[in-house]
Structure 1
Amino acid sequence: MGESRGGQTNVLRRDAQDGSAPRGVSAHHVRRPDGTKELVAVEDGYRESTESWSTLLRDLKRRGLRAPVVAVGDSALGFWAAAGAVWPDTREQRCWVHRLGNVLDKLPKRLQPKAKQALHAIMQAPTRAEAEAGIELFAAEYDAKYPKALGSLRRDQAQLLTFYDFPAEHWRHLRTTNIIESPFATVRLRQRVTKGAGSRTKALMMAFKLLAMAEERWRKVNGSELLPLVRAGVGFINGAQATVKNAVGEAKESVA
C-alpha cells in the first residue's frame, strides 16, 4: 500500500435488519504517487463514531499506508476526530457537494436556484480571497432572514477552502468526494432493490464488489506530475507553486 498523496472517504447508511442502530458502509480511496487511485478500505461502522473510524485508520496505518497529505470528506463524520489522532499532520478538506446541499436545504425552494449559482461561483473562484469575498456577498444576501443557511456555509470555512493550498490541477479532485459518490449511487440503488442487502457480510461484499468494479474505470489525477512536490511539502498559493513574490502578494491581500 505505502505512499499516498490524498485520501477521500464516504459513507452509505445501512439500516439494520434487526432493529438496532443503523450502521454505515464506509469506503476510503487514496491517490498513489503515479496519480492512479486505489480503493483501500470498505468497512462498516457507526458514521459518527470516532472509535469506528479510528479502528479503520489504524488498520490502514498497520497495513503500511502513510498519512495522506490531505483528506476529503463530509463534515458530519466522526472521521475527522479520528484522523486528527491517527494522522495529525493531514490537512482537511470538506466536500463542497455535501455542504451545498446542507446550505440549500435551509433556504426556501424559490431562492435555491439563485443561491446555488452563488455557491458554485464561490467554490470555483480562482483565488481564496475571491472565494471569501463571495461568502461575504452571500452573507449580505441571506444572513438576515436565513442565518442557518449562512451558518452552514461558514462552518469549517477554512476547511472548505483548503484546496487553494494545492496545485490548481488537483482542485477538481479535492473539492468533492464525487469519485466515490458515483459508485455509491449504484450501491444505494442495489441496497433498495435488495431491501438492505440482508446480513452485514453480504452488504459489505456487495459494496466492495461494486466499488472494485468502479475502481477499474477511475482515471489518473490531473497534474499527476505535481504529486511528488505535494508530498515533499512544497507550498502552493491559489493553485500556483509558492514563490517569495506571490507569498508576499497573498499576505497583502489577507491584510487588505
Structure 2
Amino acid sequence: MSKRVPPSMRTRETLSSLIEGRLSSPDGRSELVKLATRLILEEALEAETRDALGRDYYERGAEEGRGYRNGCRTGRLKTAEGAIEFSAPQVAGRDEPFRSEIREHAKGRTEALEELAVEMLARGLSVRDIEDAFRADDGRLLLSRTAVSELGEQLWRDYQEFAARDLSEHEIVYLFVDGIAERVRPGQRREPVMAAWGFTATGARVLLHLMAGSKEDAETVSAFFQDMRARGLGDPALVVSDGAPGVIKAIETCFPRSARQRCLAHRMRNLAAKVPEDVWPEVKARVQAVYQAPSRAIARDLAKGVVEDFGRDLPSAVTCFEDDFEACIAHLRMPVTHRRAIRTTNLLERLFVEERRRLKIIPNAFGERPVLKLMFGAMTRAAERWRSIRFTEFERRQIEAVRQELAAEYEAADTTATAARQARPVTGISSSSQT
C-alpha cells in the first residue's frame, strides 16, 4: 500500500484481513480488539490534525502559521488488552508547537476506547458514543462536530461491511453454534445471544455471525442460519451445537447435507446429574470410551455394552445416553487429529464464564449493547485459547470423502421421503367417486 495512504487505512485493511480469517498467525488473530482500538485512535488523531491544519491528508493549500504534516511517529498505549502501538501524525511549521490533546486524553480513557472498538465490531457506533469517548473532563469536545460525524460514518460503514460481508470465500468445514443466556433487556428474563464461529479448510478461525436478544426456537435460529446462507455460507462438513430442540431442528433444516454433532460436554453433564456419585466414575469411563472410539461402528458396539450393564439400575441415565446417540458420535467420521477440537461447543462456552463474572460485578451492565460488548470481547479472545486445527492433504481427502458420503445419504433420504409421499393414499375422496 502506498506511503501516501493514511496509517488508519493500512490498519483498516489489516483489521479486515483479521476478521475475514486471512491472517494465519495465531498472534495476529488474537489482536482483533487491539486493531479496532488502534483504528479508532488513528482516525481520531488524523481528524484532530485535519482540524488543526484546515486541510486533509496530502491536500495542498497550507495557510501560513497553521503548519503542515511532517510524517508520523509511533505511539504506545497501555490497555487491558495489552500494549497498542499506533501511528500519530506529526505537525511542523506552526507559530506554536502542536500538542495532541487526544493523545493525552487517551492515556486515561483506554477503557472507553476499547468499548468503542468492540461496539464498532459488534453493533456499530452512534455519534454520541464517539463524543463521549473524546470529551475532556471539563465537558469540552476534543474533536470538531464535523470530525466526529465523519468518524462515526466511517465506523458505521465498517460495521455494516462486517455484518453484511460475503462469506462465500470461506470454505467452512466445522461450524460451531452456541449461545449464552443474558438479561439483554432490563427487567426481562434472560435471552440467548447466539454466536457462530467456523474453522475453514485452511485451519483459520472465522467469526461468522452474532445475534442478540434471540430465542432458541427453530424459526429464530433458522433465520440466524439463513442470514449466513444468504451471504454465501456453504455446507459445513459438521455443525456442532448443544441439545436445544429448536437449534437441532434449524440445523437439520438449513444444513441437511452436513453431519450434526451433539456437544459432548453438555451430554456428560446431563448424564452426571442422573448417576449416583459413587457409580459415576465407572459410568463416566465407559461412556468416554464410547465417545472416543476409533470408529462409529466400534462406538455402537461399546454402547450396547453400556446399555446392557447399566440399563436395569440406571434407566434414566441410559435413556439419556441413547437419546440422539448418532449425533454424539458424528465427530468420529472426521479425521482423528480433529476430533478432540470438534466434539464440544466448549470452545465458546469457556469464554462466556469470564463475561458472566463481569456482569455480576459491573453495576447496570444489563442491556443489549453492554452484553454484546462483553460477549464480543470474549469472542475476539477465542483465538488465544482455541486449539489450532491443521489440515494436511490427507485430511482434506478424508473431509471430501465424508462430504460425498453425506451428500449420498441426503439424496437417499430425499428419494425415500418422496416415494413415501407418493405412496400415501389420497384422503377426502368419496366412495361414490371411487366407483
Length-normalised TM-score, structure 2 = 0.50
Read off the aligned partner of 1:133 and give its amino acid letter.
D
Alignment partner, residue 44 of structure 1: 212
**For 2:360, which of 188, 192, 212 is the aligned residue?**
192
Alignment partner, residue 13 of structure 2: none
**For 1:101, which of 254, 264, 269 is the aligned residue?**
269
2 CA distance for matches of 1:226 and 1:204? 39
Alignment partner, residue 335 of structure 2: 167
Read off the aligned partner of 2:291 and give its amino acid letter.
M
Q: Note closer, same or farther for the CA distance 1:26–1:234 as it changes in structure 2 (3 Å cut).
A: closer
2 CA distance for matches of 1:108 and 1:39? 40
2 CA distance for matches of 1:20 and 1:172? 37
Q: Note closer, same or farther for the CA distance 1:17–1:226 as it changes in structure 2 (3 Å cut).
A: same
The answer to whether the aligner puts 1:141 opposite 2:272 as a matched pair is no
The CA deviation string for residues 164-202 of structure 1, in whole angstroms up to 9 with x for no partner, is: 222212211221122212212222222333378311121
2 CA distance for matches of 1:24 and 1:74? 13
**For 2:226, which of 46, 49, 58 is the aligned residue?**
58
**For 1:30, which of 187, 198, 207 is the aligned residue?**
198
Secondary structure of 1:5 counterpart: strand
Alignment partner, residue 202 of structure 1: 370
CA RMSD after TM alignment? 2.4
Identity %: 26
Contact 1:73 1:176 survives alignment (8 Å): yes
Q: Which moved more, 1:125-134 or 1:2-11?
A: 125-134
**For 1:91, which of 259, 267, 272 is the aligned residue?**
259
Higher relative contact order (Cα pairs below 8 Å, separated by 6+ residues)? 1
Q: Which 4+ stretches in 1 moved above 6 angstroms? A: none
Q: CA shift at 1:230, angstroms?
A: 5.1
Read off the aligned partner of 1:176 and give its amino acid letter.
T
Q: Note closer, same or farther for the CA distance 1:236–1:186 as it changes in structure 2 (3 Å cut).
A: farther
Contact 1:197 1:203 survives alignment (8 Å): yes
Alignment partner, residue 156 of structure 1: 324
Contact 2:263 2:344 survives alignment (8 Å): yes
Gaps of 5+ in 2: 1-166, 406-435
Q: CA shift at 1:227, angstroms?
A: 5.5
The answer to whether the aligner puts 1:214 opposite 2:392 as a matched pair is no
Read off the aligned partner of 2:183 and give its amino acid letter.
D
Secondary structure of 1:78 counterpart: helix
2 CA distance for matches of 1:113 and 1:217? 28
1 CA distance for matches of 2:192 and 2:261? 21
Contact 1:95 1:175 survives alignment (8 Å): yes
Secondary structure of 2:202 counterpart: coil
2 CA distance for matches of 1:125 and 1:100? 16
Alignment partner, residue 116 of structure 1: 284
Alignment partner, residue 297 of structure 2: 129
1 CA distance for matches of 2:268 and 2:373? 31
Q: Which structure has the greater CA radius of gyration?
A: 2
Q: CA shift at 1:226, angstroms?
A: 4.7
Q: CA shift at 1:77, angstroms?
A: 4.4
| Count of residues in correspondence between the two structures | 237
Q: Note closer, same or farther for the CA distance 1:165–1:62 as it changes in structure 2 (3 Å cut).
A: same
Q: Note closer, same or farther for the CA distance 1:101–1:196 as it changes in structure 2 (3 Å cut).
A: farther
Q: CA shift at 1:102, angstroms?
A: 0.6
Q: Note closer, same or farther for the CA distance 1:178–1:88 as it changes in structure 2 (3 Å cut).
A: same
Q: Note closer, same or farther for the CA distance 1:99–1:192 as it changes in structure 2 (3 Å cut).
A: same
The CA deviation string for residues 81-121 of structure 1, in whole angstroms up to 9 with x for no partner, is: 11222222121111111111111111112222221122221
Gaps of 5+ in 1: 238-256
Q: CA shift at 1:154, angstroms?
A: 0.5
Q: CA shift at 1:51, angstroms?
A: 1.8
Q: Note closer, same or farther for the CA distance 1:136–1:201 as it changes in structure 2 (3 Å cut).
A: same
Alignment partner, residue 241 of structure 1: none
Q: Note closer, same or farther for the CA distance 1:63–1:7 as it changes in structure 2 (3 Å cut).
A: same
Q: CA shift at 1:4, angstroms?
A: 0.7
